[in-house]
Amino acid sequence: MRTLVLGLGNDLYGDDGVGLHAVRRLKEQWAPSNEESGESRRIDFAECSLSGLALLDVIVGYDELLIIDTIIKADPETGRIRLLEAADVRDLPGPSPHYVSIPQTLTIGRQLGLRVPSRMKIVAVEAQDIYRLGEGLSEGMSRSLPAVIAAAKGVLDEWKTV
């Protein structure tokens, strides 16, 4: 069993980089190595600023995919976390005709005969301004980072028992 924890975002746009920051910390905190733990599941951590079909190169070969990313909502509360299942994610084209959603990317991968994750969850983190140019998270997003990491660990623990 191979699991990918994928932090999406862009460090140059402030709070949009929360997925990247979370994955960095998770990777540091993930104490047992795969060899030491004796688990049959391997967990990899990756940061990525890609979207759409470009994600196929990153996710092929994994059984489980946990994404950490920002989400745009009406009246957002910076740092509020929503755990989303694959079915919760919009399966419609995005703002550009060149954009392909994550569910569409998985479907296309399967149609091409690629081994793509059969299980996916998203730790979606609300942000008020993901277009602020500048490195580093806002104070509010920085305060929520431990909760984001805890939510991701919760999903990994849940998958471990399934």
| Residue span of the structural domain in which 91 resides | 2-161
pLDDT in tens, 12-31: 999 999 999 999 999 998 85
Is residue 102 within 8 Å of residue 120, measured between CB atoms? yes
From the number of C-beta atoms within 10 Å of its C-beta (0-12, 13-18, 19+), residue 64 rates as buried
- The candidate with the shortest Cα–Cα distance to 20, out of 69, 76, 80, is 69
Return the CATH number at 60: 3.40.50.1450
pLDDT of residue 97: 55
pLDDT of residue 148: 98
Mean pLDDT over 19-48 rounds to: 81
For the CA atoms of 8, 9, 11, 12, the dihedral, rounded to the nearest 10 degrees, stands at: 160
Mean pLDDT over 29-48 rounds to: 74
With cut-offs at 50, 70 and 90, classify the pLDDT of residue 92. Answer: low
pLDDT of residue 83: 96
Is residue 65 within 8 Å of residue 4, measured between CB atoms? yes
Q: What is the DSSP pairing of strand 64-71 with strand 119-126?
A: parallel
Please tell me the total count of domains within the chain. 1
pTM summary value: 0.90
